[in-house]
Structure 1
Amino acid sequence: MSQLEWSSFEKKIYLKYPLEKLYWLWSTKAGITSWFLSDAKFFNSLGEERSTEEFIKTGDTYSWFWHNWDGQEDGKVLQANGKDFLQFEFGGSLLDIHFKEQNGIVILNLKQHQIPTDEDSKLKIHFGCSNGWTFWLTNLKAFVEHGILLNETEIDLRGHELSGYVFVNM
């Protein structure tokens, strides 16, 4: 990506944490609910729910649930190589998660792309998700490197009209 555009964005972060464990944090129910979601359900190609510790596979489907948001995100796991790359259908677009080890540190590269370019998608997907992923990657770093979570899990923020746009710790 040589310039900013509405149809995609990219976020990167350095993490001092083993690559295999980072992959686990994104690709199992136990992992992804430890730092990101209030609940997650992953289903294999037969529609059977995967166990808490079971790795997702290409072709699985998912339902994700957040703290402080009543909605859910449903989609398909388009790629899961078991090592360093995941791709999900996400929010009407594609979400790529790539891990690369370099000098004992992992670079996590998140790219959301194929975002529709209508005005609603520019606000909700490009702007909303870009801001959201900045926080969630920071939360992941705080979790793996310092053992703390930055997201709000005790105070219910849903009663605030614009909570998803003004609270930085949703």
Structure 2
Amino acid sequence: MTRPMFDSFTKKIYIKSDLQKLYWCWTTAQGISKWFLKKATYLTPTGNTKSPTEQIAKGDSYIWEWHNWNGQEEGKILAANGKDFLEFTFANNCSVTISMELQEEYVLLTLKQYNIPTDDKSKVNIYFGCSNGWTFWLTNLKAYLEHGITLNETDIDLRNLPLAEFEFVNI
């Protein structure tokens, strides 16, 4: 096994889903708020807010808010082909690609986060933190699409618990 370089990671998961539904879950405010976010706002390049059902496009930007986290994530949509691929900025200067490949009744979803800085703080907060986070959120997406449930905590407010983001597996 080679040693991690800390500047990127890849996560893969098979999800029994229609490719169009899975793409909708990533590319509309309505879809991504079902399994990932408390609130998503997508803006056109001219600053107009997209409707919750309108798909993202290259050049759009986003504002994301999670349950149990007071901050916001803001970024840009770098690519969105309308069917099986998207790319966006995330965690400051990092990028994330999502590719989806239909394989019989399953979709192989591949997430790659890259351009991660390799200083010690980024290794902990982005490489390990995001890698662990994406593992949970991809599992949550699978639970939502295959079983109609989500696993993230939305009822109990964990924001005031010390180290909650490092200790709870469903935040």
Q: Report deviation, 1:161.
A: 1.1
Q: Distance in 1 between matches of 2:124 and 2:164?
A: 15
The one-letter code sitting in structure 2 at the alignment partner of 1:160 is L
1:148 maps to 149
Q: What does residue range 102-117 of structure 1 map to in structure 2 within 5 Å?
A: 102-117=103-118
Q: What does residue range 1-170 of structure 1 map to in structure 2 within 5 Å?
A: 4-92=4-92, 93-170=94-171
Q: Distance in 2 between matches of 1:15 and 1:150?
A: 16
Q: Give the unaligned 5+ runs of structure 2.
A: none
Query: Partner of 2:10: helix, strand, or coil?
Result: strand
**TM-score normalised to the size of structure 1?**
0.97
- Backbone CA RMSD of aligned residues: 0.9
The one-letter code sitting in structure 2 at the alignment partner of 1:158 is R
Query: Partner of 2:132: helix, strand, or coil?
Result: helix
Q: Distance in 1 between matches of 2:45 and 2:4?
A: 36
Q: Report deviation, 1:124.
A: 0.5
Q: Report deviation, 1:102.
A: 1.1
Q: Report deviation, 1:126.
A: 0.3
Percent sequence identity over aligned pairs: 55
**TM-score normalised to the size of structure 2?**
0.97
Q: Give the unaligned 5+ runs of structure 1.
A: none
**Number of residue pairs matched?**
169
